[in-house]
């Protein structure tokens, strides 16, 4: 958050809300008229940023302040942007090495089409829990699961939603997760006390998601003939182009090992991409130049000529699976990120973000009101900044005193931050996480969001527990008198 050196000039609540309202109105109107596209999203963000800039200008702030604030926000999310670029490089090289085709091949062979959505949820949840990264899980095993869905002719939006749900379940409860640690720090809670308190909302959400995906499995019709023709063609093409061998599992092992060893995710993913590039050049029928091209520009179907094949002879499903990835493949995503931060920078320069949070806190009258205000503030700030760490630290700092004055333990605040910041971001098409999941999984945020059951289950159960607390006394931890620190009894 930038430090303003001049008074805000009497910014009103209406002025603070105007850019946000403009964004939602433009997005809804555009979706109805032309559908949800990346181009629409950029246009909506830039239009809303222009409105925010006019509000900032009216209250004494110009382009220099907006540019400074935008730059600060981009610098703050640089680690996330580096992961984004590393994932692009990883996908391209994992295709070249045959890793993704290998995982898809065995996914098709081993997973029953009827249970793919449920399998996607459990598989990404497990990987994310052990690695502490939702992006890493979605960008590795999630991509393979989406390829499996294509081969099995399974519903892509449902599968993508299950991948996102599982990735954020594991990320939320993993002590290795950056977001989990930062939410605990922002609220002044101990890490493992924070994780235990998360179970009150995480486990009901997990059960709800499991029930939904199980019902999907029971109700989804399955073809009696087994694999569709497109799936059989895909398997045939994969075995023709690539040598499918257990050595192709080495890149996933490298990325999991690196993240578990607490190597920064961007470096661990890049190391895995390097290993995959070496395998592609040494083990598969591709050259070193092909490996470089796959890392930078993505895998292109013309590369199969190295295996003595004509691109036109391969199935559309195979082309869809392999023609992806690369650093350049993330360029559109970076444009959307910059557009979103221009909006956030203009609002921050005018003091709109601070005013919105202060008004939410000022309206608090009860435990329910305090938790609802926390979650509203968290969701608002993450929607405008796409930086979970900054949001958790800022909102946590603003609300700590309010929780203490009402005799509530810090773990209530840290859980509210998780349920309003960490798991809601991938449901918003304009945020970094929403854009990442959509571009990585190949399904728009609007399409997968209804099936990301875990991600909206958390906020629902969090609000429900707070609303019923006066009657049940359940799920809210009181601050023990004379306890220093608050979790000293754990």
Tokens 């610098």 label which residue?
75
Say which residue the tokens 């990120």 belong to. Answer: 337
Q: 163 and 124 in contact (C-beta within 8 Å)?
A: yes
pLDDT in the model for residue 293: 94
**pLDDT at residue 159, as a whole number:** 92
The answer for residues whose C-beta is within 8 angstroms of residue 175's C-beta and 6 or more apart is 132, 181, 191, 192, 195
CA distances from 68 to 53, 205, 342 (A): 13, 40, 10
Amino acid 295: pLDDT: 93
pLDDT value of residue 227:
60
- In Å, how far from its chain's centre is CA 160? 12
* DSSP code string of 378-397: HHHHHHHH--HHHHHHHHHH
**What values do phi and psi take at 93, rounded to 5?**
-75, -30
Assess contact for 280 and 98: CB atoms under 8 A: yes
Specify the residue for token string 């499996």: 148
Res 389: pLDDT: 65
pLDDT score at 305: 87
Give me the residue spans of the domains in the chain.
13-73+335-472, 78-330
Exposure string (b/e) for 279-315, b if CB count within 10 Å is 16 or more? bbbebbbbeeebbebbbeebbbbebbeeeebeeeebb
How many whole angstroms separate alpha carbon 52 and alpha carbon 40? 18
Phi/psi for 478 (5° steps) reads -80, 155
Task: Give the side-chain half-sphere CA count within 13 A for 86.
Answer: 21
Beta bridge partners of 478: 408
What pLDDT, on a 0 to 100 scale, did the predictor assign at position 80? 66
- Structural tokens at position 314: 């391969």
Give the residues of the chain that fall short of pLDDT 70: 1-9, 35-38, 77, 80, 107-108, 130-131, 176, 221-231, 259, 333, 357, 360-361, 363, 385-387, 389-390, 393-394, 397-398, 481-490
Residue 271 is predicted with a pLDDT of: 93
Give the side-chain half-sphere CA count within 13 A for 173.
23
> Which is nearest to 323 in space by CA: 139, 96, 84?
96
Give residue-wise pLDDT tens across range 58-85. Answer: 888 888 888 888 888 778 767 767 877 8
Q: Give the 3-state secondary structure of residue 285.
A: coil
Q: What is the dihedral of CA 163, 168, 174, 177, to 10 degrees?
A: 110
Residues 412 and 415: their CA atoms lie apart, in Å, by 5
pTM (predicted TM-score): 0.67
Q: Which residues contact 324 (CB under 8 A, 6 or more apart)?
A: 91, 92, 95, 298, 299, 442
Predicted pLDDT at 1: 42
């Amino acid at each position: 958050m930038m430090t303003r050196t001049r008074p805000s000039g009497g910014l009103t609540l209406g002025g603070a809300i105007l850019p946000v309202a403009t964004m939602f109105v433009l997005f809804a109107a555009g979706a109805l008229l032309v559908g949800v596209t990346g181009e629409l999203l950029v246009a909506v963000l830039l239009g809303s940023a222009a409105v925010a800039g006019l509000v900032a200008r009216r209250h004494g702030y110009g382009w220099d302040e907006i540019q400074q604030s935008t730059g600060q926000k981009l610098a703050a999310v640089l680690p996330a942007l580096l992961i984004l670029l590393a994932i692009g490089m990883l996908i391209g090289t994992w295709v070249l090495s045959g890793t993704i085709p290998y995982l898809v091949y065995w996914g098709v062979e081993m997973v029953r089409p009827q249970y793919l959505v449920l399998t996607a949820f459990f598989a990404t949840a497990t990987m994310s829990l052990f690695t502490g990264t939702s992006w890493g899980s979605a960008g590795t095993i999630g991509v393979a699961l989406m390829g499996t869905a294509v081969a099995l002719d399974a519903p892509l939006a449902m599968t993508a939603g299950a991948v996102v749900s599982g990735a954020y379940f594991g990320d939320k409860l993993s002590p290795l997760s950056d977001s989990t640690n930062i939410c605990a720090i922002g609220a002044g809670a101990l890490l493992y006390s924070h994780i235990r308190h998360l179970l009150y909302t995480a486990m009901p959400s997990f059960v709800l998601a499991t029930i939904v995906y199980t019902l999907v499995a029971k109700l989804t019709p399955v073809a009696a003939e087994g694999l569709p023709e497109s799936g059989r063609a895909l398997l045939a093409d994969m075995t023709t182009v690539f040598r499918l061998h257990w050595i192709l599992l080495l890149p996933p092992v490298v990325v999991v090992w690196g993240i578990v060893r607490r190597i920064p995710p961007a470096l661990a993913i890049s190391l895995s991409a390097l290993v995959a590039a070496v395998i592609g050049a040494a083990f598969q029928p591709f050259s070193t130049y092909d490996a470089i091209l796959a890392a930078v520009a993505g895998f292109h179907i013309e590369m199969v000529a190295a295996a003595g094949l004509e691109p036109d002879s391969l199935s559309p499903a195979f082309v869809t699976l392999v023609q992806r990835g690369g650093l350049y493949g993330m360029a559109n995503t970076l444009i959307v990120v910059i557009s979103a931060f221009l909006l956030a920078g203009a609002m921050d320069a005018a003091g709109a973000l601070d005013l919105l949070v202060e008004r939410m806190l000022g309206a608090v009258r009860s435990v329910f009101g305090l938790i609802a205000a926390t979650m509203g503030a968290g969701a608002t700030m993450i929607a405008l900044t796409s930086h979970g760490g900054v949001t958790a630290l800022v909102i946590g700092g603003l609300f700590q005193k309010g929780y203490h004055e009402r005799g509530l333990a810090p773990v209530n605040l840290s859980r509210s931050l998780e349920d309003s910041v960490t798991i809601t971001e991938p449901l918003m098409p304009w945020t970094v996480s929403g854009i990442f999941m959509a571009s990585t999984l190949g399904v728009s945020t609007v399409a997968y969001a209804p099936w990301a059951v875990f991600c909206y289950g958390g906020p629902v159960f969090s609000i429900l527990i707070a609303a019923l607390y006066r009657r049940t006394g359940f799920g809210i931890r009181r601050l023990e008198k004379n306890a220093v620190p608050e979790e000293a009894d754990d």
